[in-house]
Structure 1
Amino acid sequence: MKKYRWLASLVIALLTSYAVLRRELWFDEALTLLNFVLPLELGQIYFSYIIPNNQIVYSMLLKVWDLFYCGGVDIVVYWRLLSVVCALGMLAVLAALRQKIDGRRSFPTFIVLSCMCVSGIFMNYATALRGYALSWLLGAVALYGLYEIFHQNARRGWLLYAAAALLAVGTVPTNLLMLAAAAVYAIPWMGKKFWRDRRFYGVMAVIPAALIIFYAPIATAFLNTFKLGEGFSSRWGAIECVLGMYIACFGLLLIFGLFTLHKQPWQYCLRWSIWLFPAAAILLLHRAPFPRVFVTLLPVLAMLVIDGTVQLTGRHWNNFHRGVFAITMICCQILLIPGGYLAAEKLKLSCYEDDFFHPWYMLPNYRSSQTAERLVEFSRQGKIVFLSFPADPLPILFYALNKEQLAAGSIRSDVPCNSVKSLPPGAILILRSDEAPEIYEKRFGGKLQKHSEHKQHSFYTLSTE
């Protein structure tokens, strides 16, 4: 039974995912649905790479997943289950890989994966309608393939690794970093003089080749996305968020590997450079990426933490030792969830740019569906309704359209940004509660009269001065 101890981490993952499975859509999720998954045919999704929000492989997979919806459960919950399945798949593949590496010593794998599953970051991205959980699964498969290349069935290993690399970059192009991390992790499997092994260069060559092969047919559209100039507001802020991600996902287990680092051959020490990959990308790229792109590194990081945990949790530990250790580590992980809120406040990190600790779409007052009910009422009254960009218009539109067909031309929004140039008197404006109405008074040449407020939104009527 010891070899199946890791199954408990799957149960923990199911429980933590269930806790947030019913949360409402946020902007990027609604954009994926409304612009790509729902209106397009399966074959059209690949050729509609207008913005990086179309995570092509994930969008196509979600389109297929949607075909099997039979009712009986909320449609958004059903869509989120695809990400949950991918997250569970990642855990299973990592456990299978560690069984090959560690034999019957399954406790380190169980405790590291369980702690990761308890983190708020795992709960968020394991249920997100985005390609991050799929990237986790593909990253785990890439690691498994690399192990087989250098230990067992090389042909099957190359097939798994190449397929995972192609699908990973097709999901999120920034998964290049995750694949590079997996390749660096595999260096100790290549022997002391790995640079003399032709397979090393083959492994490295697969990564850019996958990107070129996948995006070559849509190269113009792919290159145009670089002109968008999207990114995080601060380089150091992004680095602090990534460091917070490490702590939130692994907690006290992080320190384990450091105690045994000096005992390892130098090839193994190369693995620890992986922790610096996000900081290097943030500092070297023309603009700091959003910290959430680095969440796809979790399978590789989990392998690093398991390596350290294996070294320090001795074979002589009995069930009592393991039980006390597991309870202590998991309780510390649970305490880190509210600790993330405190850390975000200390860093003065706005919830609107926070990807990890207290993102606005995970807060209790985030209820776009209730704002959508008000929007439907205004539409029935023949009102013109304007949704500002900060008000997160796409989830509101999704829930409104899910209720009934809205009157043509009755809804206007700043998607794309600032696209609405004028509004008639009597129009209803839905703004985020912390927005300054004076900006819109100047923009539309009228006076805004606030008549109600609900959760994170304020409702105004536009009148002539």
Structure 2
Amino acid sequence: MAKNQSGLIRNLREDDSRAWLLLAVAIFLLRVTPWSMAELWFDEVLTLQYFAIGQEDSTFLGIFRNYIMANNHFLNSAVYWWWVRFLNYNFTAHLLRWPSLFFGLATIAVVVLHWRYFLGRRWAALAAVMLAISPVFGAFAYQVRGYSLAMFLATVALSGAMEISFGQLRRGQKLACTACLLLPLVMPSAAMLAPSLALLIFLQQRSDKQSWQCALARSLPCLLAGMLGGSYYLTLWEQFQRASQEAGGWSSSWEAAGAIALGFLAHAGFVALPSLLGFLFPRWRDRNHPGLLSSYDRQLWFCCALPIIALLCLRFGGRAPFPRVFLVYLPAVTLAAVWGAKQQGILRRARIIYPAVVILLTGCLVENACSYLTRREVLAGKSPQNLLQQYYRGASDNREVVSFLQEKGLALGSLVLVNEFDATSFRFYWQLAELPPQTVLAGNRAPQDFYRQQNFSQMQLFVLARNEFEAQQLFYRAGHKGPFHQVMQTDLRTLFAPGTYSRFWPSQEQSEQLLEKAWHNK
């Protein structure tokens, strides 16, 4: 009796979707809250200044007619246009990022509460834990950018595709078509998910022995919805072309492919191994599904890999897309990994808490390793930015330096020279402190030897750099070839000024001399 009762309690705990949802939400918030309290970084500031805040005469509808740069994720900018005004222009970082955090939480909720009808309660819970602790999902789900909203809509679209294949056709079409219609309005590259889902539905219907006509009829609506959403950019074609050419990217498609693969593998972890091995090697496939595309998880991998490879090979604009462009495939990678693991006998019979603990430990280990590597690279003067490493994540150096200069009374009448990666964020907090933005110069845009000009030479020059070598380069850019000294140091940045000692307060040597003199007098 006692044994049966304990087994019942165990099953209740493992099948309790609400408990798993609360656990996944708690893990996600613990993961991203420290990052959400950090300063706003380059792209977030551009999103706020040009679109969410805009000019004095900017309107809500004007957001959808302004594509001067690829930073305008239309629907996300519209959400933040309303949110900034709701907060009465309060730019406290963790409050400002609440909409993105909400979409991240909504993604986890959809996985737990809807995917359980296709994966089962336990495996849907495992997928939610994978997202919550993911070093990839959490790193982008808190930003004032469209990635969190795009991943949420991608999850809804994938849920609709599963409904079409295994559930209610009408409800599935509503979910998939609505999400595929909206995705391009978040960011144009998200339109590629629609053909992937259309192909997935078609392959699944054909594997279920449906006719070609039936498979096409069920797969085409979401494709047409995605094309309709993407066609909006035809009304802004000149702006779209110009913004696409200026958006940049990676010079090497191979490096971009490696970064994408590494990020997705770090996200899915060991759970993806059974499914990936079956996709790549015939000997690892189930006897009941020997074909390459005969199982749903391998169909998912195929539909994810095909457009990614195509875009990396086409290299629009002569460069490979940024890896973060493919975040819309993160929910599909999650589903493929969990679906494949579910078919394995060992994992299917094990208590779900065991793989969940391994996922949590792996996620923490990967995150700590990436944070360590990122810190080393930033201090070396690099700016890593991929799916696993972001030079700005969790940083508050620019905000701290602005506060320091203001508190010490050094901000007015000073020039601050900053590298191009930090300048936008630094200038944003400089303006929030009601200081003149023209006194902050970006290293790549500042005129050569500007500090030798008469109108600048009377001002105090500060340089914010990641190390002394970068500081020397920035001082040379300003026209100062002499010595310089450290004024203040934050976690990953150092503030420098010309000269061999500080004119603002006693140096360490002077302080020691004053202490010795005071002791002698005593």
Whether the TM-score (by the shorter chain) exceeds 0.5 is: yes
Name the stretch that deviates more: 154-163 or 80-89: 154-163
Task: Choose the corresponding residue for 1:42, options 47, 50, 60.
Answer: 60
1:377 shift after superposition: 6.3
Aligned residues: 452
Residues 26-37 of structure 1: pairs in structure 2 closer than 5 A: 26-37=41-52
Q: For 2:312 and 2:166, locate their aligned partners in 1 and report how far apart those are by CA, in whole Å.
A: 34
Tell me if structure 2 keeps the 8 A contact 1:52–1:225: yes
Q: Which amino acid aligns with 2:341?
A: T
Work out whether 1:357 is the aligned partner of 2:376: no
1:315 shift after superposition: 9.2
Work out whether 1:433 is the aligned partner of 2:482: no
Residue identity over aligned pairs, in percent, reads 21
Tell me if structure 1 keeps the 8 A contact 2:199–2:219: no
Q: For 1:316 and 1:293, locate their aligned partners in 2 and report how far apart those are by CA, in whole Å.
A: 34
* CA 387–381 in structure 1, closer or farther in 2 if over 3 Å, else same: closer
Residue deviations 1:116-161 (CA, integer Å, cap 9, x gap):
3212222211211111111111101112233344555544443432
1:352 shift after superposition: 0.8
Tell me if structure 1 keeps the 8 A contact 2:70–2:247: no
Task: Choose the corresponding residue for 2:221, options 181, 184, 202.
Answer: 202
* CA 298–235 in structure 1, closer or farther in 2 if over 3 Å, else same: same
Tell me if structure 2 keeps the 8 A contact 1:136–1:296: yes
Task: Choose the corresponding residue for 2:338, options 300, 306, 310.
Answer: 306
Work out whether 1:237 is the aligned partner of 2:270: no
Partner residue in 1 for 2:495 = 458
Tell me if structure 2 keeps the 8 A contact 1:386–1:429: yes
Partner residue in 1 for 2:413 = 383
What secondary structure, in the 3-state scheme, does the structure 2 residue paired with 1:54 have? Answer: coil
Q: For 2:377 and 2:337, locate their aligned partners in 1 and report how far apart those are by CA, in whole Å.
A: 26
- Aligned alpha-carbon RMSD (Å): 3.4
Work out whether 1:109 is the aligned partner of 2:136: no
Partner residue in 1 for 2:504 = none
Q: For 1:381 and 1:245, locate their aligned partners in 2 and report how far apart those are by CA, in whole Å.
A: 41
1:444 shift after superposition: 4.7
Q: Which amino acid aligns with 2:117?
A: K
What secondary structure, in the 3-state scheme, does the structure 2 residue paired with 1:113 have? Answer: helix
* CA 21–99 in structure 1, closer or farther in 2 if over 3 Å, else same: same
Partner residue in 1 for 2:511 = none
* CA 391–139 in structure 1, closer or farther in 2 if over 3 Å, else same: closer
Work out whether 1:220 is the aligned partner of 2:238: yes
1:79 shift after superposition: 1.8
* CA 202–166 in structure 1, closer or farther in 2 if over 3 Å, else same: closer
What secondary structure, in the 3-state scheme, does the structure 2 residue paired with 1:459 have? Answer: strand
Task: Choose the corresponding residue for 1:82, options 81, 92, 99.
Answer: 99
Work out whether 1:418 is the aligned partner of 2:445: yes
Name the stretch that deviates more: 427-436 or 372-381: 372-381
1:304 shift after superposition: 0.6
TM-score by length of 2: 0.76
Tell me if structure 2 keeps the 8 A contact 1:116–1:122: yes
Partner residue in 1 for 2:301 = 272
1:54 shift after superposition: 1.5
Unaligned 5+ residue runs, structure 2?
A: 1-11, 280-284, 500-522
1:289 shift after superposition: 1.5
What secondary structure, in the 3-state scheme, does the structure 1 residue paired with 2:152 have? Answer: helix
Work out whether 1:402 is the aligned partner of 2:439: no
Q: For 1:95 and 1:377, locate their aligned partners in 2 and report how far apart those are by CA, in whole Å.
A: 48
Work out whether 1:183 is the aligned partner of 2:184: no
* CA 200–346 in structure 1, closer or farther in 2 if over 3 Å, else same: farther
1:221 shift after superposition: 0.7
Q: For 2:34 and 2:129, locate their aligned partners in 1 and report how far apart those are by CA, in whole Å.
A: 16
Q: For 2:40 and 2:173, locate their aligned partners in 1 and report how far apart those are by CA, in whole Å.
A: 38
Tell me if structure 1 keeps the 8 A contact 2:201–2:218: no
Q: Which amino acid aligns with 1:450?
A: F
What secondary structure, in the 3-state scheme, does the structure 2 residue paired with 1:52 have? Answer: coil
Q: For 2:462 and 2:482, locate their aligned partners in 1 and report how far apart those are by CA, in whole Å.
A: 8
* CA 391–13 in structure 1, closer or farther in 2 if over 3 Å, else same: closer
Residues 109-128 of structure 1: pairs in structure 2 closer than 5 A: 109-128=124-143
Unaligned 5+ residue runs, structure 1?
A: none
* CA 361–316 in structure 1, closer or farther in 2 if over 3 Å, else same: closer
Residues 43-58 of structure 1: pairs in structure 2 closer than 5 A: 43-58=61-76
Q: Which amino acid aligns with 1:454?
A: Q
1:369 shift after superposition: 0.7
* CA 345–69 in structure 1, closer or farther in 2 if over 3 Å, else same: closer
Task: Choose the corresponding residue for 1:130, options 145, 157, 161.
Answer: 145
Q: Which amino acid aligns with 1:433?
A: R
Q: For 2:349 and 2:359, locate their aligned partners in 1 and report how far apart those are by CA, in whole Å.
A: 16
Q: For 2:66 and 2:408, locate their aligned partners in 1 and report how far apart those are by CA, in whole Å.
A: 33
What secondary structure, in the 3-state scheme, does the structure 2 residue paired with 1:13 have? Answer: helix
1:457 shift after superposition: 3.8
Residue deviations 1:23-80 (CA, integer Å, cap 9, x gap):
2211111111122212343222222211111111111111222333379x97211121
Q: Which amino acid aligns with 2:113?
A: A
Partner residue in 1 for 2:112 = 95
Q: Which has the larger radius of gyration?
A: 2
1:380 shift after superposition: 6.7
1:441 shift after superposition: 5.5
Q: For 2:160 and 2:365, locate their aligned partners in 1 and report how far apart those are by CA, in whole Å.
A: 36
Q: For 2:410 and 2:59, locate their aligned partners in 1 and report how far apart those are by CA, in whole Å.
A: 31
Work out whether 1:327 is the aligned partner of 2:325: no
Name the stretch that deviates more: 424-433 or 244-253: 424-433
Partner residue in 2 for 1:61 = 79
* CA 11–180 in structure 1, closer or farther in 2 if over 3 Å, else same: farther
Partner residue in 2 for 1:168 = 183
TM-score by length of 1: 0.85
